[in-house]
């Protein structure tokens, strides 16, 4: 049988292709067998007058493994996951009409691909439904889907976690006999649900391990990590999740994820109290904490957003997601960002990956989003990237020192960086001159202040004994600095610098805010351990004095970083690649300082190593001294 040959689309008519899956009973008698191939036809339609259709959201899977389906009487090679999805959606006696990217776009025709990409969001918006195909049933997914539709559906009906509804942790605390705020709307039906949920998720029950394992494997499926589904789900007017022969609603999935996240928080708080009060030992084995709820929650949260977000927020939020083509880490987000047109960014598969990443980074920097430099990490796998261009193909990143969050009270779609740092004191300075800055062959020059040279660095973070060693390394460096007086105030200042630098002067997110480290927590740490060698401080010691959340964030922020001492005056933390002889700069318009390195002994050009925290310069102290402003040419 011949290979399928695409007929060209007419861009002037805003044409796109639709796939029609023929009924299962449509095959001729000789084709009826257990391995009857999926048979389809293709038609052209205009977005201005399209017939009813659904759109498929799925993950391609391994492109090197392919299976054959029949399209317009010709063979078409599809990935096994797509073939399985089409087979599951095929009906016995009806034609099913779908839009499927791998089939409806000629992937080898770059001009067509570029044009269809511009229309993709509208294709998903116009679809009757978006069908999120999670793959065939396996690893007890039937139990996971049933539980999701039951408990997630009931949570949605009861509005648990939504504005104006009862909060799960308050309901659970009430069941434990603990006081809850008088303004909480606690009702009998919600309380019964919370009791049932607590029973379901209790480690003491025989079914606990099987249920948690099923949910864990369900939310570890490749679907939840695919960058294109961000746009597909955000654009859907109606969304249904399909796994094998089971279905679950969008709301049931979202509420289940929030139940699991909030119950995990409650469980951690409860266990921490029990450890302190009774020497209780947490149960081992599979745990709710192993379920990564943040990625799918973010996916579905953007679907519910009232206004589109800026590209920088999308890129930072979904930096962990993957794509078959690394250029799609940018292209897949352009259609749902509110400022892609203003930035002058559009999908162009004629460009190489390094060109796509450099163009995106340059335009974001020019728009004032210097936090894109916070995504710079090493090693880089994309050839040709300059130091200031993040390798966006990565799926593993150290935690950023600031989080970019949607601003609920600001202009539609606006965002903020948290916690609030003000290293450059103001954002009103011109970051770049306009002329020629967009030309890809032009050097990128920024303005900033040189704080000083790195004199000492500590050891990299390690999980084994990491908490105590991390604190001890900061304590050791603090005793090498110029603030080595032994009077009480100097000793207390050094201790404060250690405890704040260890967590980059911040706490874990609290509701809609991510605050700086509270003074009372610094005081608690200082009073509790001022007579101790900090290398002996471990997780339990911090939990025993009420600093369990401090310990949690310490372990998050320290990974991929190392302690450092700058000019014998500033204690802080920076990327693990930081070396003695590197420089600290505060860039005009940036909240954070950056570590940079001379390209060579004879060059003034600088390489970006990454963002840093330095105690004593995070609130504009350096800028108060009227320092010299340098022009820094990056390489």
Each residue's pLDDT tens digit, 108-158: 999 999 999 999 999 999 999 999 999 999 999 999 999 999 999 999 999
Each residue's pLDDT tens digit, 537-557: 988 899 889 898 899 899 999
Q: Ranked by mean pLDDT, which of 310-324, 397-411, 437-451, 498-512 comes out on top?
A: 310-324
d(CA 405, CA 508): 14
> What's the pLDDT band for 1 if we cut at 50, 70, 90?
low
Residue 314 has a pLDDT of 96
d(CA 326, CA 352): 10
Strands 444-457 and 583-587: what pairing? antiparallel
- Cα 477 vs. chain centroid, distance in angstroms? 33
Tell me: pLDDT of 197 over 60.
yes
Tell me: pLDDT of 311 over 70.
yes
Per the CB < 8 A criterion, the answer to whether 501 and 618 are in contact is: no
Tell me whether residue 198 is exposed, middle or buried, using C-beta atoms within 10 angstroms of its C-beta: 0 to 12, 13 to 18, 19 or more. Answer: middle
Name the one residue in this structure whose structure tokens are 């691909």.
113
> What's the pLDDT band for 430 if we cut at 50, 70, 90?
very low
Look up residue 17 and give its two tokens. 């292709």
Q: Give the mean model confidence (pLDDT) for residues 46-63.
A: 93
> What's the pLDDT band for 483 if we cut at 50, 70, 90?
low
> What's the pLDDT band for 32 if we cut at 50, 70, 90?
very low
> What's the pLDDT band for 29 if we cut at 50, 70, 90?
very low
Strands 67-71 and 74-78: what pairing? antiparallel
Q: Which residues contact 341 (CB under 8 A, 6 or more apart)?
A: none
> Residue 445, SS3?
strand
Domain boundaries, the chain: 11-128, 141-221+255-299, 307-420, 449-634
In sequence order, what DSSP letters do the residues of 136-189 get, joined into one string?
S--TTHHHHHHHIIIIIHHHHHHTTTSTTSPPHHHHHHHHTT----TTS---HH
Each residue's pLDDT tens digit, 238-293: 999 999 999 999 999 999 999 999 898 888 777 666 655 555 556 667 788 899 89
Each residue's pLDDT tens digit, 373-422: 999 999 999 999 999 999 999 999 999 999 998 887 778 778 999 999 99
Q: Which residues contact 216 (CB under 8 A, 6 or more apart)?
A: 286, 290, 291
Tell me: pLDDT of 594 over 50.
yes
- How many percent of the chain have pLDDT more than 90? 68
> What's the pLDDT band for 319 if we cut at 50, 70, 90?
very high
Q: Give the mean model confidence (pLDDT) for residues 443-469.
A: 88
Residue 484 phi, psi (nearest 5) = -105, 15
In sequence order, what DSSP letters do the residues of 113-130 get, joined into one string?
HHHHHHHHHHHHHHSS-E
Residue 275 has a pLDDT of 55
Q: Give the mean model confidence (pLDDT) for residues 326-351.
A: 95
Residue 562 has a pLDDT of 96
Residue 464 has a pLDDT of 58
Helix, strand, coil distribution of the chain in percent, nearest 5: 40, 15, 45
Tell me: pLDDT of 31 over 50.
no
Per the CB < 8 A criterion, the answer to whether 630 and 448 are in contact is: yes
> What's the pLDDT band for 28 if we cut at 50, 70, 90?
very low
**Of 151-155, 171-175, 224-228, 597-601, which gets the smallest average pLDDT?**
171-175
Residue 544 has a pLDDT of 85
Per the CB < 8 A criterion, the answer to whether 248 and 148 are in contact is: yes
> What's the pLDDT band for 90 if we cut at 50, 70, 90?
very high
Q: Give the mean model confidence (pLDDT) for residues 556-564.
A: 95
Tell me: pLDDT of 165 over 70.
no
- To which H or E segment does residue 498 belong? helix 488-501
Average confidence score pLDDT of the chain: 89
Residue 21 has a pLDDT of 97
> What's the pLDDT band for 30 if we cut at 50, 70, 90?
very low
Residue 615 has a pLDDT of 96
Residue 186 has a pLDDT of 57
In sequence order, what DSSP letters do the residues of 190-206 get, joined into one string?
HHHHHHHHHHHT-TTST
Q: Give the mean model confidence (pLDDT) for residues 315-334.
A: 95
- How many percent of the chain have pLDDT more than 70? 90
Tell me: pLDDT of 70 over 90.
yes
Residue 463 has a pLDDT of 61
């Amino acid at each position: 049988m011949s290979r399928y040959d695409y007929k060209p689309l007419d861009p002037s008519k805003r044409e796109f292709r639709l796939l029609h899956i023929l009924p299962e009973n449509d095959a001729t008698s000789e084709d009826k067998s257990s391995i009857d191939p999926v048979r389809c036809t293709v038609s052209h339609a205009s977005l201005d007058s399209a017939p009813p259709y659904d759109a498929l959201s799925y993950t391609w899977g391994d492109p090197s493994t392919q299976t054959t389906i029949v399209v317009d009487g010709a063979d078409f090679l599809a990935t096994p996951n797509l073939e399985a999805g089409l087979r599951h959606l095929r009906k016995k006696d009806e034609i099913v009409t779908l839009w499927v990217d791998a089939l409806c776009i000629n992937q080898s025709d770059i001009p067509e691909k570029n044009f269809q990409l511009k229309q993709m969001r509208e294709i998903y918006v116009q679809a009757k439904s978006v069908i999120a195909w999670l793959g065939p049933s396996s690893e007890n997914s039937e139990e996971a889907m049933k539980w999701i539709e039951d408990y997630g559906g009931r949570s949605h009906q009861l509005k648990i976690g939504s504005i104006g509804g009862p909060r799960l942790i308050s309901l659970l605390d009430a069941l434990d006999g603990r006081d809850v705020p008088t303004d909480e709307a606690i009702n009998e039906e919600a309380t019964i649900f919370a009791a049932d949920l607590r029973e379901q998720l209790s480690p003491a029950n025989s079914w606990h391990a099987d249920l948690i394992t099923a949910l864990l494997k369900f939310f570890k499926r490749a679907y939840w990590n695919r960058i294109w589904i961000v746009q597909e789900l955000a654009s859907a007017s109606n969304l249904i999740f399909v796994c094998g022969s089971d279905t679950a609603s969008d709301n049931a999935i979202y509420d289940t994820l929030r139940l699991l996240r909030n119950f995990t928080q409650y469980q951690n708080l409860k266990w921490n109290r029990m450890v302190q009060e009774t020497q209780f030992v947490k149960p081992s084995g599979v745990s709710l904490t192993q379920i990564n709820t943040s990625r799918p929650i973010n996916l579905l949260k953007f679907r519910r957003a009232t206004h589109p977000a800026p590209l920088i927020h999308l890129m930072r939020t979904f930096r962990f997601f993957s794509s078959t083509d690394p250029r799609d880490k940018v292209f897949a987000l352009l259609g749902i960002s509110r400022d892609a047109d203003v930035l002058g960014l559009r999908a162009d598969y004629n460009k190489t990956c390094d060109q796509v990443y450099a163009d995106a980074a340059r335009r974001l920097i020019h728009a004032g989003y210097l936090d894109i430099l916070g995504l710079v990490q090493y090693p880089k796998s994309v050839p040709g990237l300059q130091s200031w261009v993040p390798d966006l193909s990565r799926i593993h990143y150290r935690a950023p020192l600031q989080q970019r969050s949607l601003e609920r009270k600001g202009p539609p779609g606006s965002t903020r960086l948290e916690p609030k740092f003000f290293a450059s004191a103001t954002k009103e300075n011109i970051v770049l001159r306009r002329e020629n800055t967009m030309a890809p062959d032009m050097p990128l020059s920024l303005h900033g202040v040189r704080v000083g040279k790195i004199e000492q660095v500590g050891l990299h973070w390690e999980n084994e004994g990491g908490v105590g060693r991390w604190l001890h390394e900061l304590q050791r460096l603090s005793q090498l600095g110029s603030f080595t007086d032994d009077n009480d105030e100097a000793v207390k200042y050094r201790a404060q610098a250690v405890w704040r630098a260890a967590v980059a002067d911040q706490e874990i997110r609290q509701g809609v805010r991510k605050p700086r480290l509270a003074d009372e927590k610094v005081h608690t740490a200082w009073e509790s351990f001022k007579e101790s060698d900090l290398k002996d401080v471990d997780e339990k010691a911090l939990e025993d004095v009420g600093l369990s959340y401090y310990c949690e964030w310490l372990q998050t922020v320290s990974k991929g970083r190392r302690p450092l001492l700058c000019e014998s005056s500033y204690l802080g933390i920076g990327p693990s690649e930081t070396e003695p002889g590197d420089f600290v700069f505060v860039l005009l318009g940036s909240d954070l300082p950056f570590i940079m390195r001379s390209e060579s002994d004879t060059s003034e050009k600088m390489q970006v190593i990454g963002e840093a925290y330095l105690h004593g310069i995070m609130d504009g102290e350096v800028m108060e001294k009227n320092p010299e402003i340098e022009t820094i040419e990056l390489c």
